Amino acid sequence: MPDNNTPPERHLHFILVTLLTLCVFFLLFVFRSVDDNRLTSWQWAFAHVNPAWFIPLILTGILIVYALLRFPFAGRNPALFLFVSSFAASAVFWRSPETIVDVSRYFTQAKHLEIYGVGYFLSEWGRTINAWTDLPLVPFLYGVIFRVFGEARVYIQIFTGLLFAGTTVVTYLTGQRLWDKHTGFFAGLMLLGIPYIFSQTPLMLVDVPTMFFLSLSVYAFIRALDTGGLWIAASSAAVSCAVFSKYSTWMMLSVLAVVFFVCLRRRTGEAARDCIVRAVVAVLLAAVLAGIPALLKFDVIRDQIRFLREYQMPGLKRWGESFASTFLFQVHPFITAAGLYSVYAALKKRDGAFLVAGWLVFLVVLLQIRRSRYVLVVFPMLTLMASFGLQAIRDMELRKYIVSCIVASSLVTAVFAYLPLLQEMAPVNLKNAGRFLNSTDVEGAVVFTIPSEGAAVNQAVSVPVLDLFTDKKIYYDYDPALSPPPEKVETSPLRFTWEYRNPRYYYTGNDSSGRNAAVAVISNGIPRSLPGYVERRIKGRRKAGVFSVSTGLFSYRPVVTVYLPGE
């Protein structure tokens, strides 16, 4: 809170901001039915929560964050402060399970590299390694981590946590380059004011790494145009990484053209010519770095793009979420309000640099990209817009306090509402079953998946997720005739699960798994009966654990029953 010698009207401003923060929280709670997010909707997260408990939590959080921001370390070392605080915040969510089934694809691709090596991955990606609509960079990095450090989820979480922390730093540096140190710092800090992000940072997906590489591409390109030298190479490398992270970044990289014109507008004469030369060199080098691998995998990439155009793009209209959900519930409303005001402020000031921050958010609105997970990559630009809008508040302490309110209330929401919801989702059964297997002395586990009529997800994709959480060798016993794809699978957002096939390393040695092996049965809900071939396999074994947690919100409800050798 402000010092005792602060003028009374300034005290009033702090009190009003505090009251507004609490009022906004309660308004969101009251109208939580509007939130149609498919993962962390407020109507689910707060279904059994007493909002009154959040008042002391939010107030305590505000005092802690504001005190930390007033600590000299934050002012002297803003980049380090952002890095440490954001990494620590993301680490709190490592307890959540892998809530999105797409993880099975990335884990499977990464495990191919772990087992067979880099050469095999590079040559077989898109062939024997099913790539679906994925690009290779992030699974490649995950595979390298597995190969170097071992196959443990915590190493992936450390990596994605570091990339998220790096994103806050890059956002700060970008804002500092476009405007000033304080605007950049608050922009980086406000990434912690987006509670949805914390549902994604612990997951073995590509979205958080893509957000980092896209943000790095913008900053590195700005530095390349300003100073040249090694920043040209760094810019080209960052752009190449963004290109091979996710197809949606190809469109998002159009922001680099905006960066070029903004930088060129500031220069004349020789400085303008240097800017043009540096841009041309950086783009050509990036084209070479990205173009050679793309040519080598041209057939795969061409087929993927065709499939995205025919399946993914029409599907986005069916699988979307409202902007109200994304920008009022999953993003703190103060950020959205400041971002909207920033458009007016930029027009009034005729600030060309604002176009760099605003372009990607403009694309999201123009193209009607209505899913928080797909919008996530532009959140750093949204916080840059918001921080620019907060420049209208000249009182630096008040601005700092507003950002403290944003971060504190969002972290409280994420930790005390989102995290409990995530931990109650059915995929936690795969995590718990994997840990249970680790506690036994079996040599491995033979896994069966039992189909159920009308299931939205092919349970075969649960096998890699179980594998991610256990150190035991997994053997997969699978009869493809038993799980036909459901009707309407052609338009299902989970279509890939029905076209997915577990790789051959789960079948190798299946016959020699031995009697000292557990049997794990994965089903969609608790099965009424087991097929005969499963009954024969569990004969002589005892039922040691049934993992059946479920919120009942989703059709994907993996239940894991573990049978151990009888004594």
Q: Are residues 380 and 459 in the same domain?
A: no
215: in domain: yes
Q: CA angle, 510 as apex, 429 and 149 as ends, to 5°?
A: 60
Both 370 and 432 in one domain: the answer is no
| 338 contacts: CB under 8 Å, gap ≥ 6 | 385, 386, 387, 389, 390
Taking the C-alpha atoms of residue 443 and residue 440, their distance in angstroms, rounded to an integer, is 9
Is 491 contained in some domain?
Answer: yes
250 and 275: one domain? yes
- Per-residue pLDDT reduced to its tens digit, 499-531: 888 898 998 655 545 678 899 999 988 888 888
- Cα dihedral sign, 118-139-556-542: positive
Q: Are residues 418 and 437 in the same domain?
A: no
Terminal C-alpha separation, the chain: 64
Which of 423, 438, 464 terminates a domain? The answer is 423
Asked if 351 and 410 sit in the same domain, the reply is yes
pLDDT mean across residues, the chain: 92
The whole-number pLDDT of residue 421 equals 96
Across residues 267-295, what is the average pLDDT?
A: 94
Tens of pLDDT, residues 376-397 = 999 999 999 999 999 999 999 9
Return the bridge partners of 447, or none: 476, 520
- Tokens (6 digits) for 184: 């950049």
Note the pLDDT tens digit of each residue in 132-166.
899 999 999 999 999 999 999 999 999 999 999 99
In a domain, 1, yes or no: no
- Nearest Cα neighbor of 379 from 184, 191, 175 is 191
pLDDT in tens, 474-493: 999 766 555 555 566 777 77
pLDDT at 276: 94
Digit-coded pLDDT (tens) for 97-122 = 999 999 999 999 999 999 999 999 99
Q: Find all residues with CB under 8 Å of 42, minimum gap 6, and list them.
A: 28, 29, 32, 35, 329, 417
Q: Which of these three, 405, 423, 441, is where a domain ends?
A: 423
When comparing pLDDT for 301 and 551, which is higher? 301
455 and 403 in one domain? no
Tokens representing residue 60 in the block: 């305590």
Residue 150, classified by CB atoms within 10 Å of its CB into exposed (0-12), middle (13-18) or buried (19+), is: exposed
Percent share of the chain, pLDDT over 70: 94
pLDDT at 481: 56
**Residue 112 counted as domain residue:** no
**Which pLDDT does position 514 carry in this prediction?**
63
Give domain status of residue 77, yes or no.
yes
Domain of residue 470, residue span: 428-565
By mean pLDDT, which of 397-406, 418-427, 487-496 is the weakest? 487-496
Q: What is the DSSP letter of 414?
A: I
% of residues, the chain, pLDDT over 90:
78
CA distance 236 to 220: 8
Q: Looking at the structure, do residues 415 and 456 belong to the same domain, yes or no?
A: no
Q: 158 exposed, middle or buried (CB, 10 Å; 0-12, 13-18, 19+)?
A: middle
Identify the pLDDT of residue 200: 97
Residue with more model confidence, 508 or 214: 214
- Is position 499 within any domain? yes
The region of weakest confidence among 184-188, 214-218, 314-318, 322-326 is 314-318
Would 554 be classed as within a structural domain?
A: yes
Same domain, 560 and 433: yes
Cβ neighbors of 238 (< 8 A, separation 6 or more) are: 213, 216, 217, 220, 221
Question: Is there a single domain that holds both residue 403 and residue 437?
Answer: no
What is the pLDDT averaged over residues 266-289?
A: 93
Rounded Cα–Cα distance for residues 134 and 247 (Å): 8
The domain total for the chain is 2
CB 166 within 8 A of CB 212: yes
Q: 512 and 374 in one domain?
A: no
Above 60 in pLDDT, residue 5?
no
Same-domain pairing of 216 and 321: yes
For residues 439 and 400, state if they share a domain.
Answer: no
Q: Is pLDDT larger for residue 515 or for residue 533?
A: 533
522 contacts 559 by C-beta, under 8 angstroms = yes
Residue 560: inside a domain, yes or no?
Answer: yes
